Chains A and B, each alone.
Chain A
Amino acid sequence: MYILQRIVMKILVCISKTPDTTAKITFNANNTKFNEEGVAFIINPSDEWYALVRALELKESLGGSVELISVGREDYDPVIRKALALGADGALRINSDTPDSYFVAAQIAHFASQGNYDLILTGKETIDYNGSGLGGMVAAMLDVPYVSLATKLDLSPAENQASFRREIEGGEEVGKVALPAVVSCMKGMAEQRIPNMRGIMAARTRPLRVEEPVEAPVLTEAVRFELPPPREGMTKVDPENMEELVRLLHEEAKVI
């Protein structure tokens, strides 16, 4: 007698909260902290558009579950609820500040190791601190393979592996990786989705668990922030006279 075993994939998606892409960036009086006043927050675009949406697509075609993990304070909850509204099954928030990426990765690695996930997805980088290293750190801490900057991802549950396309310097690679693995996701992987009313209603009752952080070292410290100096006025060039633009670029800017 055959026993048909259904292989159920468990996917964990790391979600970060970032200022809206149109937010004006300012800092507090002594330039040590981002000024959140009046700023709208969103799910970090590559976490949402690529990692989360691709996870949901994989779940829709293969079954299984998609869970979210975030490191942040209570002010993360609206953003996590939005991610749940897109279709994730549940979320875990580790109730902590985010002093540096190593600390955050250590939290995620600790809680992910308790969940037997087949796949852990991150966005390629956050649009605020632009660390781009969370996925790699989590992979190293869990001692599982890391696929960086993937633009395509498919799962073969029967072979317990994933196939991917990723960006490398000067080209692209197509390959396969054994599960479990950590994959950072970028453009090309999936298209942005808009949550519908049913999803928004359902998200209210989906579990959002909160855990206290585990002890982990902090390796770096943001000392101060600074805004770039504004550009000095623009020189207008007559559209009929492109020789003049070439002259300015050569003699004044010295870039050609």
Chain B
Amino acid sequence: MSVLIFADQHEGIFRKSAFEAVHYGAKLAEALGTDAIALAAGTIEDAKLQALGQFGAKKVLHASEEFLDHFDASLYGKLVVLAGEAVAADVIVFSHNFNGKAIAPLVSASLKAGWAAGAIALPDLGDGFVIRRGVFSGKAFCDVKILTDKKIISLNPNSFAVETTDRMAEVVSFAGKVAAGDARVNVVSTEKLSGTVPLPEADIIVSGGRGLKGPENWGMIEELAEALGAATACSRPVADSGWRPHHEHVGQTGIAVRPNLYIAVGISGAIQHLAGVNGSKYIVVINKDPEAPFFKAADYGVVGDAFEVVPRLSKAVRAFKENTH
């Protein structure tokens, strides 16, 4: 019996969502009286694998083949199933990021194991195995009970606070279990968005809407984001007009985010946009229209012209950072 966590890596580096998943799996293992074992695939330094112990992994299985550097859901899914068998896992945990969303359903279907997608909390073990997840694109929660003995959970990024210790994990080779030929798609090329934090993992997001009038005005959004160490995002009309790339579109039909701080500039706050952001801890709304519906969802509101307020805010943030560092 154990809890297996698939620790997703990118170019040899584990990111926040992987640490969250490992820590979540460790807390769950503790509650179940068992061990948390992580699985990692591809080229990764031993030190980075051992460091997963800081988040609670007792052991890390490492499938080190180079062909695993390319993401393939079928290949990874097969690897996860084999690792699950090897460690007699009752629960398998993924991050509910792009890769987890691709692998978890394959594993769920092949093991006939019930899957809680987009979990935001540890299971309640009082009456079965009940997990809270987001539904209606962030407009509501659903407590879902997994009815099967084997269970799959994918954890929403930014939903579970991570604590660390100085423990190190034991690294065990899990090489030779899958073959390159197990991949079901042929990847021709990969384009990395290097240097950017993926939106679902970002702690702070600065987001712009139609109120910015055109892509030429995006500089001030980027400037504020840079001052705050934030990621940038946008509303649907902005992505649809091609001012910003589609992967920055936050909302019901784009992506849902749960940062600590979401700063909305010139976004009116249509219900579809709010659905994607109301998991944010704090929301700041900057809009010149005092009637903008977004103010109803805001913690802090600034009624004013974005073209004046945003540069002023960037300046204040820079001054604050200089004073505190």
B-binding residues in A (CB < 8 A): 19, 21-22, 25, 27, 45-46, 49, 100-102, 105, 125, 127-137, 139-141, 144-149, 151, 163-164, 167-178, 181, 187-188, 217-228, 231-232, 234-240, 242-243, 245-246, 248-250, 253, 255-256
Contacts and interface: CB of A to CB of B under 8 A. Distances in A.
A7 to B, nearest CB: 20
Interface stretch (B28-36, B41-49, B55-63, B312-320): B312-320
A237 B301 contact: yes
A145 B141 contact: no
B186 A219 contact: no
Contacts of A243: 316, 319-320
A149 B252 contact: no
B295 interface: yes
Interface residues of B, number: 100
B143 A224 contact: yes
Contacts of A176: 185-186, 188
Interface in B256-296: 260-261, 270-272, 275, 278-279, 281-285, 295-296
Contacts of A132: 101, 105, 117-118
A139 B107 CA distance: 11
Q: Which 6 A-B pairs have the closest CB atoms?
A: A239-B304, A136-B105, A133-B105, A219-B114, A145-B184, A148-B102
A223 B99 CA distance: 27
A177 B98 contact: no
Most chain B CB within 10 A, of A129, A178, A226, is at A129
16 contacts: A21-B272, A22-B270, A27-B140, A102-B115, A129-B135, A144-B184, A146-B184, A148-B98, A169-B8, A169-B99, A170-B11, A170-B194, A221-B147, A228-B140, A234-B299, A243-B319
Contacts of B220: none
Interface stretch (B70-78, B158-166, B167-175, B208-216): B70-78
Given A219-B114, A243-B316, A173 B253 contact: no
A222 B71 contact: no
A140 B284 contact: no
A129 B116 CA distance: 11
B82 interface: no
B98 A221 contact: no
A124 B259 CA distance: 22
Given A218-B147, A242-B316, A133 B298 contact: no
A163 B185 CA distance: 10
B190 A171 contact: yes
Interface string B236-258: 00010000001101001110000
A151 B246 contact: yes
Interface of B: 8, 10-11, 15, 17, 70-71, 73-74, 77, 97-99, 101-106, 108-110, 112-118, 130, 133-137, 139-148, 184-194, 198, 203-204, 228, 239, 246-247, 249, 252-254, 260-261, 270-272, 275, 278-279, 281-285, 295-305, 308-309, 312-313, 315-317, 319-320
Contacts of A219: 108, 112-115, 146-148
B108 A133 contact: yes
A253 B143 contact: no
Given A139-B106, A236-B301, A133 B101 contact: yes
A161 to B, nearest CB: 9
B316 to A, nearest CB: 4
B260 A255 contact: yes
Given A25-B136, A173-B190, A223-B130, A234 B301 contact: yes
Nearest to B189: A174
Task: Identify whether the interface residues of B are mostly helix, strand, loop, or mixed.
Answer: mixed
Contacts of B117: 101, 130-133
Contacts of B272: 21-22
Contacts, number: 279
A125 B279 CA distance: 18
Contacts of A136: 73, 101-106, 108-109
B302 A245 contact: yes
Given A219-B112, A239-B309, A245-B284, A129 B101 contact: no
Contacts of B275: 21
Nearest to B117: A131
Contacts of A102: 108-109, 112, 114-115
Contacts of A220: 114-116, 144-147
Nearest to A49: B253
A186 B228 CA distance: 30
Most chain B CB within 10 A, of A219, A234, A253, is at A219
Nearest to B183: A145
A140 B106 CA distance: 5
A47 to B, nearest CB: 11
Contacts of A131: 117
A221 B108 contact: no
Given A136-B109, A222-B142, A225-B135, A168 B302 contact: no
Nearest to A140: B109
Contacts of B70: 173
